[in-house]
Amino acid sequence: MDRLSETELVIAEKYCHGLTDKEVADQLGKPVWTIRTHKKHIHAKLGISTTHELVLYMVARKNDKDWDIKELRKQGLAAVMCILVLFHLMIFDKVEFCRISRRARVEFVTRRADNG
């Protein structure tokens, strides 16, 4: 598997925050078609096909864990993502979720843990 370039890592990070192609392009000051080309190269280098898999790759990378997409696909990506969200909820008192509607409007929701 090829390593991602610095630019590809920055773009992958943006996608992990739930941004669309246009939003990533706007934030980085690049044309949308350039961002889509980078995204295509990222997917090809990692052997992935979805943003969920990209998020799991970035989580594994940040935690210095082995990346094996075949094993993750066997376990079920949805189950792995649910475990990650539950783990995140247990660790942090204040959690920000990002809801994306069909029209790509982003709305942030903050949840605070009840302390008793």
Question: Per-residue pLDDT tens for 45-67?
Answer: 998 888 888 888 887 788 777 77
Instruction: Check pLDDT > 80 for residue 6.
Output: yes
Other C-beta atoms closer than 10 Å to the C-beta of 10 total: 14
Q: Which two tokens stand for residue 113?
A: 């843990």
Q: What number does CATH give the domain 6-112?
A: 1.10.10.10
pLDDT score of 14? 93
User: Is the separation of the CB atoms in 5 and 45 below 8 Å?
Assistant: no
- Residue 73 sits at the vertex; the CA angle it makes with 55 and 10, to the nearest 5 degrees, is 20
Question: Per-residue pLDDT tens for 26-47?
Answer: 999 999 999 999 999 999 999 8
Going by C-alpha positions, the residue among 17, 23, 15 that lies closest to residue 97 is: 17
- Measured CA to CA, the distance from residue 116 to residue 109 in angstroms comes to 21
